[in-house]
Amino acid sequence: MEENILNTDPNIVAPVVEEEIEGFRHLNNPADGIKPIVKKYLGIPNSVVQSGNKFYFTDGEAKVEAVVITNEIIRIRVAPHGVFLEDFSYGVPKLEARTTEFKLTEDADEYRISTPNIRCHISKKNFFIAFSDSDNKVTSVDAVPMHWEENTQFGGYYVFGTKVCHPSETFFGLGDKPTELNLRGKRFTNWNTDAYSFQWGQDPLYRTIPFYISVNEGIAHGIFFDNTFKSHFDFGAEDASKTSFWSDGGELQYYYIHGPHMMDVVKRYHILTGTHPMPPMWALGYHQCRWSYYPESKVRVITKGFRDRKIPCDGIYLDIDYMDGYRCFTWNRKYFPDPKKMIADLAADGFKTVVIIDPGIRVDDSYPVFKEGKEKRYFCRRSDDYFMEGHVWPGRCQFPDFTNPEVREWWGGLFDELVQLGVAGVWNDMNEPAVFGAGTFPDDVRHQYDGHRGSHRKAHNVYGMQMVRATYEGLRKILKNKRPFTITRAGYSGLQRYASVWTGDNVASWEHLKIGNIQCQRLSMSGVPFCGTDIGGFSGEPDGELFTRWIQLGTFSPFMRAHSAGDTKEREPWSFGEPFTAINRKFIELRYRLMPYMYSTFWEHHRYGFPILRPVVMQEQDVQSNHFRQDEFTYGDKILVCPVLEPGIQFRTVYLPKGKWYNFWTSELVDGGKEVQVETPLDTIPIFVKAGSVIPEYPVQQYVGELEIEEVKLNVYYSDIEANSFVFEDYGETFAYEQDIYLEKKFQVNGTQTAMTIQQSLEGLYTPRYENYNFSIVGLPFKPANIMVDNKWVTNFTFNNSKLEFRHNKNFKMIKIMK
Ligand code: GLC
């Protein structure tokens, strides 16, 4: 056993020599037995060397690197024996220093790296690392020095970081965990897992997002523990005064991301990991899925069912049965004799066909994909060079190593034929990776890891992300300037650069409706914006009420898709008869009406890194009770939604953040900063619009692009406080926005008791084809006598039930409505 000889200072708070304890590792890996563990801690820093924006501290043997990335982001890494691993990350593709405004100072107690907005303190007494803001308020501080244990089996270390957990500190993030939104008092593991019919509190699930947001005394910061090995987080569960994160391998490497607002933290997390590219606008429509719609005649019955009943729908999915023996990139010609014709007919009717593609490739020398992959040595191998084999849907399979860039390139090219057939989107499933029986790959499977080789322990959590990356990048090449649509089940931080996600195999129960509502909010604030649940629940049977309540939630999920397992009854929006069908239609129509608002919110995410869904704690983090609210959320920052999550209820309590809100259904003005009781008959859920908002609206279409939009309705909600909104417009399906071919319209609304103004300014090079706005001004506190637009009078307007309506050319600069 080694001794930590570095820690000799009597003042050191942390344990200084070896500890024999049953550590975290043993709690999580009972198979390890209870061997004594030697935990080694950083000693005393005795020097610092600066190299540009990087600072190296050492205790004589271990090294700590601090890198200044922006004025609010600093990364910390530890090399136990002084040698850092190569600086490579799938989560953070480019580590660009975006500031030069930092300096190093020191005094008797500490080294201090300061940017204009934060400070990183490295204690000379005990190597504790702390962060503070420019007011010197400490936001994060080590509870013990960073430490590690040698891994005698695999080499490397188990690495640990432990911070002080403050009494009122709360925690959010970590992706798809099916538990309360606030993570305080809980412990989690990240290891991508196929979790069929998962339950409340089950952990881990499908994704690894090792990023959390802490809020303490009104100040937020984030920690992104960029480590792909099995990782663990403890938010005061084992010891209420400590927050820990640790991993079974790799480097102790984390980013401190300062707020002070939670929105700032999420935004800055996206500076590191990227945002979601703009999806094709149709992907924001309604999607219908089932395991599986086949044969072709069934697909046609379903799609016709939508059009006959006038229920809008854009996406239609083919699950595994479209393939020949579940072989990816093949077609079952008995069920689908002429896919090209079918897909073209569906497209003519406005449907975009999305097909599933799994990672398991059937071992079959007469199957070209297998043959080529085998010849080119693209499949994963075990430590002794045997192929990694496992059973999945097709039977015995081998699995491409998506961490190899050459394999990704090959895989991406395989979609060429599907695209030529007209397929519009790809659904990557089972990519945890899932293997029947064993669960996943054994640890010893080798991965190329973009030249930074590693075992499956290191690559497991990024396997799915690299699969969907290969899919997305391949599609992007094939489609040229058209936007691909992709969806993945598994992923790691940064997956949002390549795909949308759904929350996996949920259950048709009221509890799962509640879980889904939390999961979507959590994913959104964890940097996974384009997310949704299997509406209705994947397994089990919802009744009409549950299904309708789920459609209502889904209307306000960034991704809206109904899906169900093969052994369940039919599950389309009309399957439950009336009154359910009419209500389902009403909500799906609402989604299409709000399409330009939702699309603009997506742009706000893409361009600025804001989440699409925002739990109320993100609106008002200074109100402590909001840290425990998890039902209501805003979509963007203008529309507040509170789904109904229980059967048979006619009323529910909704918290409205401070400010004024309009009831979307009744236009009644309500004061926020308090809870309100809202009626919830089956055909409605509480929806409120913030005063001062400009909400653009399209006419109902049966699919995106059905109608040439001739006029956009602008719903303007009166406010006596100046308020800003924006609307984003572009072609909706190309990457022209990357060349500034888009239009960002900024609106400013302001009102008094006798007048109201609406100003518009434009940014970007796109020109929409419609000419007019149809204004609907809600909540005017006076009867309008005159309307002037850019110095011209508008004579044609109506005013009924305090709603003012008129039309005007879209190119106005200033509207003045007067008493
Ligand atoms: C998995 C997926 C599910 C899919 C099924 C068959 O269970 O999570 O969505 O329908 O596999 O492909």
pLDDT value at 4 more than 70 = no
Lowest mean pLDDT among 8-12, 158-162, 454-458, 814-818: 8-12
Q: Given this model, what pLDDT does residue 99 score?
A: 85
Residue nearest to atom 4 of ligand 1 (CA): 291
Q: Given this model, what pLDDT does residue 36 score?
A: 59
DSSP-based three-state secondary structure for 512:
helix
Q: How far apart are CA 819 and CA 814, in angstroms?
A: 17
| Residue of 193, 291, 323, 489 best suited for mutating to test ligand 1, as the one with most atoms within 8 Å of CB | 291
pLDDT value at 2 more than 80 = no
Which atom of ligand 1 is the closest one to the Cα of 430? 1
Lowest mean pLDDT among 120-124, 152-156, 331-335: 152-156
- pLDDT above 90 coverage of the chain, percent: 94
Which atom of ligand 1 is the closest one to the Cα of 196? 7
pLDDT in tens, 226-271: 999 999 999 999 999 999 999 999 999 999 999 999 999 999 999 9
Distance 322 CA to ligand 1 centre (A): 13
Segment 44-51 mean pLDDT? 96
Q: Given this model, what pLDDT does residue 460 score?
A: 98
Q: How far apart are CA 146 and CA 155, in angstroms?
A: 19
114, two tokens: 């300061």
Distance 565 CA to ligand 1 centre (A): 7
Is the Cα dihedral 639, 644, 650, 652 positive or negative?
Answer: negative
Residue closest to 383 by CA, chosen among 428, 472, 445, 427: 445
Q: Is the peptide bond before 204 cis (omega within 30 degrees of 0)?
A: yes
pLDDT in tens, 696-724: 999 999 999 999 999 999 999 999 999 99
Reported confidence tier of residue 13, pLDDT bands at 50, 70, 90: very low
Q: Given this model, what pLDDT does residue 132 score?
A: 98
- pLDDT above 70 coverage of the chain, percent: 95
| Residue of 198, 358, 507, 538 best suited for mutating to test ligand 1, as the one with most atoms within 8 Å of CB | 538
pLDDT in tens, 353-409: 999 999 999 999 999 999 999 999 999 999 999 999 999 999 999 999 999 999 999
Distance 348 CA to ligand 1 centre (A): 28
Which atom of ligand 1 is the closest one to the Cα of 289? 10
Distance 102 CA to ligand 1 centre (A): 50
Q: Cα 11 vs. chain centroid, distance in angstroms?
A: 44
Distance 291 CA to ligand 1 centre (A): 7
Q: Is the peptide bond before 295 cis (omega within 30 degrees of 0)?
A: yes
Which atom of ligand 1 is the closest one to the Cα of 356? 12
Lowest mean pLDDT among 18-27, 271-280, 535-544: 18-27
CB atoms within 10 A of CB 552: 25
Which atom of ligand 1 is the closest one to the Cα of 504? 8
Q: Given this model, what pLDDT does residue 413 score?
A: 98
Distance 319 CA to ligand 1 centre (A): 8
Residue nearest to atom 3 of ligand 1 (CA): 505
Please check whether residue 189 is in contact with residue 201, taking contact to mean a CB–CB distance below 8 angstroms.
no
Lowest mean pLDDT among 9-13, 219-223, 255-259: 9-13
808, two tokens: 């005007």
Q: Given this model, what pLDDT does residue 539 score?
A: 98
Residue closest to 599 by CA, chosen among 811, 481, 766, 471: 766
Distance 269 CA to ligand 1 centre (A): 31
Residue found by looking up tokens 């990557």 in the block: 428
Residue nearest to atom 5 of ligand 1 (CA): 291
pLDDT in tens, 22-42: 444 444 444 545 555 689 999
Number of H-type helices and E-type strands within the chain:
13, 54
| Residue of 192, 198, 489, 505 best suited for mutating to test ligand 1, as the one with most atoms within 8 Å of CB | 505
Distance 217 CA to ligand 1 centre (A): 43
Q: Given this model, what pLDDT does residue 801 score?
A: 85
Residue closest to 45 by CA, chosen among 55, 36, 34: 55
pLDDT in tens, 93-137: 999 888 889 999 999 999 999 999 999 999 999 999 999 999 999
Domains and CATH numbers, the chain: 31-273 (2.60.40.1760), 708-818 (2.60.40.1180)
Which positions ≥6 away from 22 have C-beta within 8 Å? 34, 37
Segment 306-316 mean pLDDT? 98
Distance 566 CA to ligand 1 centre (A): 9
Q: Given this model, what pLDDT does residue 814 score?
A: 98
pLDDT in tens, 777-805: 999 999 999 999 999 999 999 999 889 99
Residue nearest to atom 10 of ligand 1 (CA): 291
Which atom of ligand 1 is the closest one to the Cα of 291? 10
Q: Given this model, what pLDDT does residue 96 score?
A: 87
**Active site residues per annotation:** 429, 432, 505
Q: What is the DSSP letter of 482?
A: B
Please check whether residue 280 is in contact with residue 287, taking contact to mean a CB–CB distance below 8 angstroms.
no
Q: How far apart are CA 714 and CA 706, in angstroms?
A: 20
DSSP-based three-state secondary structure for 132:
strand
Please check whether residue 256 is in contact with residue 221, taking contact to mean a CB–CB distance below 8 angstroms.
yes
Distance 353 CA to ligand 1 centre (A): 17
Which positions ≥6 away from 787 have C-beta within 8 Å? 793, 794, 797, 804, 806, 815, 816, 817, 818
Beta strands in 312-378, from DSSP E residues, in sequence order = 315-318, 352-357, 361-362
Which atom of ligand 1 is the closest one to the Cα of 320? 12
Ligand 1 pocket residues where CB is under 6 Å? 291, 319-320, 356, 429, 489, 504-505, 563
| Residue of 287, 319, 393 best suited for mutating to test ligand 1, as the one with most atoms within 8 Å of CB | 319
Q: How far apart are CA 499 and CA 104, in angstroms?
A: 40
Residue nearest to atom 7 of ligand 1 (CA): 505
Which atom of ligand 1 is the closest one to the Cα of 319? 12
DSSP string, 580-624: HHHHHHHHHHHHHHTHHHHHHHHHHHHHH---SEEEHHHH-TTSG
pLDDT value at 311 more than 70 = yes
Q: Given this model, what pLDDT does residue 1 score?
A: 29
Segment 166-174 mean pLDDT? 97
